[in-house]
Amino acid sequence: MKLVRFGARGAEKPGLVAADGRIKDCSAHVADYDHAFFAGDGLERVRSFAARPDRLPDAPAGVRLGAPVARPRNVFAIGLNYSDHAKETGAAIPAEPILFMKATSAVCGPHDPILIPRGSEKTDWEVELGVVIGRDAHYLPSKEAARGHIAGYCVANDVSERSFQLEHGGQWSKGKSSLNFLPLGPWLVTPDDIPDPQQLGLRLDVNGTRRQTGTTASMIFDVLHIVHYLSQFLVLEAGDVIITGTPPGVGMGMKPPQFLRAGDVVELAIDGLGSQRSVCEPG
Ligand code: ZN
């Protein structure tokens, strides 16, 4: 099942993608894909009427897509989770998952512009597998128990300003949280349609040139490990988003480094999860 949210920013409606690719409006049945939706029986309710998409109205043709989940309570991000990416940044392979936070105000739609922040000269790209939490999770007893707490998967771009991240002291969050620094979607794909989240190819192009190629098989810590691990330290809440690290090929790792400029086009995709296309604009 593929869930989408469509409409103007801040006024998105919940929908789903029918087998023929058409976007169907579910707003008569559910309010939004938010914490209450996932914490309750929202996914089961959508499943009950998703079987008859002909009974649902079509979304307007060409409508804007928002992030496939309403603004999450938390966005957790895992750093340096692909050994080949850790290598390109010159960092050591982490012994445990590296956790940092992204401001939830950074979330935007999959084709919204990437906004280059004021004064930025080092805005960079990172294609990542996004994981949406389906049920609150705290002190999960095992990796296997994490499986029942995942609502689904989506494409994420962990847009990063390397100067803000690395040259202004303290933690990484300053360089990860600018407006529109987290395009999510186009859709949230439920686990029944993704038999193995550790066998997904990822890719990202800038202006038509392939920059990142990877597979989630190269993660140092896999999705179930990350969900179980984080739950030992904090409460993962339904609707929260975890982005799980990026494969090699970021601009910071190029020789010489390359960064995004207004007018650049960034396209990224993950097997089974669809693709994003964003144009860079001054923020
Ligand atoms: Zn990242």
pLDDT at 184: 98
Residue 59: pLDDT over 90: yes
Residue 90: pLDDT over 90: no
Q: How far is the CA of 51 from the centre of ligand 1 (A)?
A: 36
Q: Which residues pair with 124 in a beta bridge?
A: 160
Q: How far is the CA of 156 from the centre of ligand 1 (A)?
A: 9
Distance CA 241, CA 196 (A): 19
Is the CATH code 3.20.20.70 the one for domain 75-282? Answer: no
Q: How far is the CA of 52 from the centre of ligand 1 (A)?
A: 38
Q: How far is the CA of 102 from the centre of ligand 1 (A)?
A: 10
Provide the residue ranges of all domains of the chain, joining segments of one domain with +: 2-55, 75-282
Average pLDDT over residues 185-211: 97
Q: How far is the CA of 54 from the centre of ligand 1 (A)?
A: 39
Q: Over the stretch 129-160, which tens digit does the pLDDT of each residue have?
A: 999 999 999 999 999 999 999 999 999 999 99
Mean pLDDT over the full length of the chain: 96
Q: How far is the CA of 48 from the centre of ligand 1 (A)?
A: 35
Q: How far is the CA of 106 from the centre of ligand 1 (A)?
A: 13
Contact by Cβ (8 Å): 212, 252: no
Residue 51: pLDDT over 90: no
Its pTM surpasses 0.85: yes
Backbone φ and ψ for 36, nearest 5 degrees, come out as -65, -40
Q: How many residues does the chain have?
A: 283
Q: How far is the CA of 204 from the centre of ligand 1 (A)?
A: 13
Average pLDDT over residues 182-195: 97
